[in-house]
Amino acid sequence: MCGIIGYVGKRKVSQVLLHGLKKMEYRGYDSSGIAAVSAGGLKILKSVGKIENLERKYSETPIEGIAGIGHSRWATHGVPSEINAHPHKDCSGKIAIVHNGIIENYGELKSDLIKKGHKFISDTDTEVAVHLIEDCYDGNIEEAVKCALPKLKGAFSIVCLSSDEPEKLVFARMKSPLVVGLGKDEFFVASDVIAFLSFAREAVYLENGELGIISPEGLKIYKFSGEEVKYKTSMILWNADMAEKNGFKHFMLKEIYEQPASISNTLAGIITNDGFSFSDAHIDLDLIKKVRRISIVACGTAYNAGLLGKYFIEQIAKIPVDIDVASEFIYRESLPCDDSLFIVVSQSGETADTIEAVKKVKSKGSGIIAVTNVVGSSITREVDGVIYTRAGFEMGVAATKTFTAQSLVMYALALYLAEAKGILSKNAIAPYIAELKLLPEKMEEILKNVKNIRRVARMFHSCRDFLFLGRNLNYPLALEGALKLKEISYIHAEGYAAGEMKHGPIALIDCDCPVVVIMTKSFLYDKVISNIKEVSARQGIVIGVASEDDMEAESYTRVLIKIPSASPYASAILAVLPLQLLSYYIADVRGCNIDKPRNLAKSVTVE
Ligand code: F6R
């Protein structure tokens, strides 16, 4: 949450900052600000609302310099307002900082600093950091930041600018992401590479406890303890095009349409001639043969993909799997089990709760692998191995293509485990792999036929409540369908295991309540039909998502959305597409801000 950026170079500094902030708006978007040092000293521009408001201010009062810093905010401490927007400055007005994260001991630091005569104007935790730096300042900004850092507790990445050294930025990372971009005679530092994709092809990912300096002379990185770090540069694999809408009305729609490609790419990364390979995950085959339990931990949509993974792994590899949302897992007394493997699923690799879960697992000495989309993200540095989804950059706040890519990885992992444990032979796995290769084509078919889904969206966009039901592999899809609808359309929606409906939610059903039932063919089909009948008997409106070859489905449902026929496993990856599209078109008819839903941020870096 919150996006921070810094730039040193010859381009128009504020334009680079504004461009970067717009690209990172998905991280937070209630207010924003930039700072640069010109002949008249440190200048700051701030604005509430979208970055466009800040751009408007900039066009009226441009500020420029050799170096500059910027911030887009997702409020934690203090309401969205110009006063609380970053950059924050010290009492002298010479030093400014931007910050992402939470400074947990800001209360005590603030009282001490007030006693020393510092004047605070905002309600933020960030302001203590700049006053602390001022307190340490003796003409050298680098030394002042080094002196202030050990006093800060919590999660933070900061970038600091001083009007006494206007060509230099000092930055530091502790638990919140920060990456440096290396251009030709220009340097960037930001929460995410997306901020400088158009300008730099090489990046240096900072580790926790590292501090860096960029100036026209180059980049230096030190440990907080003062020792210089020999940093490694990485090529940036994403390109600037991924951060453009390319003719689509919203990023979310573009990303829904990118799913055939994202599935092909993810598959290409893990498939071999006759099976799967997870070389980056460093999965030890001897350990896998001994694994007695798998625990999956994740949040939000990634949790739903993890839950689908539980069904895949239990049914295919016959290994018991438990699953937790990370925010519960970290404070739960989880009982240790020998020979267990943990899997964390996180699109961004930066979710604070999931990172804490990883730390908890590591402290107990269990093996842990991550399924993530972001190379070099915090989680990848903490785990024993990584399986990358190759979905490309996901800009829409509502996750779509990463959900299907994560689901695919979980399915492939289940097959891999089954083979490693001798449950399925290579020959037996071949037809599953053949079917996986058909997924992109089947997804294309769904995406070509959205007319019916748009019609359904127009029919039900004004309903106040929705229920989503599914059994077994389709239960996680019901959760995901409901999550998508509520986050982008603000319609109340609940996802339920279809068999659980009669234990409570059935009370909600009446003639105004659409009930989306994922009813693709499986061994539980008849039981799902019974659940549908229970809904219809109470005048509920059943919207079915069924397989193309299901000739009975029409007779059970008021409205029907069909998807290409496939095995129950492959159907579970396909059937989420109509749910994503339904949410998208409902939100669009309602005129919602689809790519930036209220109160949400893409990367949730606070607990
Ligand atoms: C929903 C959504 C969130 C994320 C959740 C975890 O559309 O995107 O629920 O899935 O915040 O984020 P990651 O996967 O980055 O750990």
For 351-398, write each residue's pLDDT tens digit. Answer: 999 999 999 999 888 889 999 999 888 899 899 999 999 999 998 989
Instruction: Among 250, 299, 485, 598, say which to mutate for ligand 1: greatest number of ligand atoms within 8 Å of CB.
Output: 299
The pLDDT tens digits for 409-449 are 999 999 999 999 999 999 999 999 999 999 999 999 999 98
The C-alpha atoms of residue 94 and residue 87 are separated, in whole angstroms, by 12
Mean pLDDT of the region 219-237: 93
Instruction: Among 176, 252, 301, 402, say which to mutate for ligand 1: greatest number of ligand atoms within 8 Å of CB.
Output: 301
- Asked if 141 and 160 touch (Cβ cutoff 8 Å), the reply is yes
Confidence of residue 598 (pLDDT cuts 50, 70, 90): confident
Amino acid 381: pLDDT = 87
Amino acid 358: pLDDT = 95
Q: Which atom of ligand 1 is nearest to the CA of 301?
A: 10
The pLDDT tens digits for 474-531 are 999 999 999 999 999 999 999 999 999 999 988 989 999 999 999 999 999 999 999 9
Strand partners, 367: 341
The C-alpha atoms of residue 505 and residue 509 are separated, in whole angstroms, by 7
- pLDDT over 70, % of the chain: 99
Distance between Cα 403 and ligand 1 center (Å): 9
Mean pLDDT of the region 88-96: 96
Amino acid 473: pLDDT = 98
The pLDDT tens digits for 21-39 are 998 887 777 899 999 998 8
Q: Which atom of ligand 1 is nearest to the CA of 484?
A: 7
The C-alpha atoms of residue 466 and residue 542 are separated, in whole angstroms, by 10
The C-alpha atoms of residue 605 and residue 178 are separated, in whole angstroms, by 12
pLDDT of 242 over the 80 cut: no
Nearest to 270 by CA among 412, 418, 434, 403: 412
Amino acid 27: pLDDT = 78
State the Rg of the chain over Cα. Answer: 25
Tokens 């084509």 sit on residue: 441
The pLDDT tens digits for 517-574 are 999 999 999 999 999 999 999 999 999 999 999 999 999 999 999 999 999 999 999 9
Nearest to 37 by CA among 51, 17, 19: 17
The pLDDT tens digits for 97-149 are 999 988 999 999 999 999 999 999 999 989 999 999 999 999 999 999 999 99
Q: How many C-beta neighbours within 10 Å does residue 583 have?
A: 31
- On the CB side of 478, CA atoms within 13 Å amount to 27
Confidence of residue 336 (pLDDT cuts 50, 70, 90): low
Ligand 1 pocket, Cβ-based, cut-off 6 angstroms: 299-302, 346-348, 351, 354, 398-399, 483, 487, 603-604
Distance between Cα 601 and ligand 1 center (Å): 9
Q: How many C-beta neighbours within 10 Å does residue 335 have?
A: 5
For atom 11 of ligand 1, the residue with the nearest CA is 300
The C-alpha atoms of residue 259 and residue 574 are separated, in whole angstroms, by 10
Distance between Cα 402 and ligand 1 center (Å): 9
Distance between Cα 162 and ligand 1 center (Å): 36
As a 3-state breakdown, the chain gives helix, strand, coil percent values, each rounded to 5, of 40, 25, 35
Distance between Cα 573 and ligand 1 center (Å): 18
- Asked if 364 and 358 touch (Cβ cutoff 8 Å), the reply is no
For atom 8 of ligand 1, the residue with the nearest CA is 399
pLDDT of 151 over the 80 cut: yes
Residue 196 structure tokens: 């400088």
Distance between Cα 428 and ligand 1 center (Å): 34
Segments in 24-67 forming alpha helices (H): 51-60
Confidence of residue 241 (pLDDT cuts 50, 70, 90): confident
Q: Report residue 197: phi and psi, to 5°.
A: -55, -35
Mean pLDDT of the region 216-239: 92
The pLDDT tens digits for 181-193 are 999 999 999 999 9
Long-range contacts of 429-437, Cβ-Cβ distance < 8 Å, separation of 24 or more: 429/275, 430/274, 432/567, 432/569, 433/271, 433/275, 435/566, 435/567, 435/569, 435/570, 436/267, 436/271, 436/408, 436/411, 436/412, 436/570, 437/267
The pLDDT tens digits for 270-279 are 998 888 999 8
Strand partners, 514: 541
Q: Which atom of ligand 1 is nearest to the CA of 299?
A: 6
Amino acid 364: pLDDT = 86
- Asked if 147 and 131 touch (Cβ cutoff 8 Å), the reply is no
The C-alpha atoms of residue 247 and residue 140 are separated, in whole angstroms, by 48
- On the CB side of 591, CA atoms within 13 Å amount to 0
The C-alpha atoms of residue 573 and residue 443 are separated, in whole angstroms, by 9
Segments in 449-567 forming alpha helices (H): 451-460, 475-489, 525-537, 553-556
pLDDT of 596 over the 90 cut: no
Q: How many residues does the chain have?
A: 607
The C-alpha atoms of residue 288 and residue 469 are separated, in whole angstroms, by 34
The pLDDT tens digits for 48-61 are 998 999 999 999 99
The C-alpha atoms of residue 69 and residue 96 are separated, in whole angstroms, by 8
Q: Report residue 53: phi and psi, to 5°.
A: -65, -40
Mean pLDDT of the region 320-348: 91
- 2: annotated active-site residue: yes
For atom 7 of ligand 1, the residue with the nearest CA is 398
